[in-house]
Amino acid sequence: MEILVTGATGNLGGATIKALLNKGVDKSSIGALVRDESKAHELKELGVTIVKGDYNDYDSLVNAFKGVNKLFFISSSEVETRQEQHMTVVKAAKEAAVNYILYTSIQRKTDKEDSPLDFVLDSHMTTEEAIKETGITYTFMRNNLYLDFLPWFLGDKVLETGVYLPAGEGKVGFMLRAEMGEIAANLLTTDGHDNKAYNISGTEEVSFGEVAAMLTEITGKEIAYVSPTYDEFMETMDKAGVPKLFAIMFGGFAQGAAQGELESGNTDAERLLGRKPTAVKDFVKQVYAQ
């Protein structure tokens, strides 16, 4: 099999497979790794090969990876067990003699342990090093925050209560997940990316205060932006009944933004995508315009 996409029933995996097909890659050379085959109806309709495998099951991964030339390794969404799962994936890829790994890592400005992003950063850094140590040719997509997740950060009642995040005036290089999928497909089908790490961030940087201003303009309602301290934010989330893990995630990313960890910087996205990524304001209009 030429290309195997992990996490294929997820949004990024699915977007990548569709982008590969749109580029003319033969469906018979594309594999879709799924944990639950009952969720793979759309993938089956696309005609790609369905391969069963679980990040928690080493033997299933070794079997799934045998004969694979290029592995698109999408990072696990299970934050608490991610590092162990990733080590299982990397070990299995080595055992199965995979030739190339494209891995979705995280955008960051520093690798410091005191980074607000440490709750996700550590597992990504460990995975990058483990991949390098295998000797397998690799490319790292260091992805910024999905623009698709912006409504999650804003909350269901943002138009009534405003934007409340400990992000200060920090800016984020949001980018649509589907466009990251296009970039992944481009990397998997072109040369010149061996053993490189790319910054996959939007070309436009926005603060949450600027997002509030966009909402005000789009809806005609005055949408306030309040940036509390991290402790105040966590206390408010606890009182609101938000699960602690989610609060830590939203608060951590917001603090990361406040410290400049999620700025676009020297982004490779436009060059690898072949056009400018979708603007944040266009996305906000699509979601919130009445």
Closest-CA residue to 168 (of 257, 92, 252, 50): 257
HSE, side-chain direction, 13 A CA sphere, residue 186: 17
Return d(Cα 26, Cα 47) in angstroms, integer: 10
Residue-level pLDDT at 79: 77
138, 140, 142, 187, 269 from 197: Cα distances, Å: 9, 4, 7, 11, 12
Band of pLDDT at residue 77, cut at 50, 70 and 90 = confident
CA 246, CA 51: separation in Å to the nearest integer? 31
Please give the model's pTM, rounded to 2 decimal places: 0.94
CA distance 122 to 52: 28
**What digits encode the pLDDT tens for the residues 200-212?**
999 999 999 999 9
> Tell me, what DSSP letter sits at residue 191?
S
- For residue 270, the model assigns a pLDDT of 96
Query: Is the model's pLDDT at 128 over the cut of 80?
Result: yes
Q: DSSP for 57-87? A: BHHHHHHHHTT-SEEEEPPPS-GGGHHHHHH
Using alpha carbons only, what angle is made at residue 24 by residues 22 and 25, rounded to the nearest 5 degrees?
Answer: 105
Architecture of domain 3-143+177-200+265-274: 3-Layer(aba) Sandwich (3.40)
Q: What is the pLDDT of residues 146-163, one digit of tens each?
A: 999 999 999 989 999 999
pLDDT of residue 246: 87
Residues 167, 254: Cα–Cα separation, whole Å? 4
What's residue 112's pLDDT?
Answer: 60
pLDDT in tens, 97-109: 999 999 999 887 7
Decide if pLDDT at 6 tops 90: yes
Q: For the chain, what is the mean pLDDT? A: 93
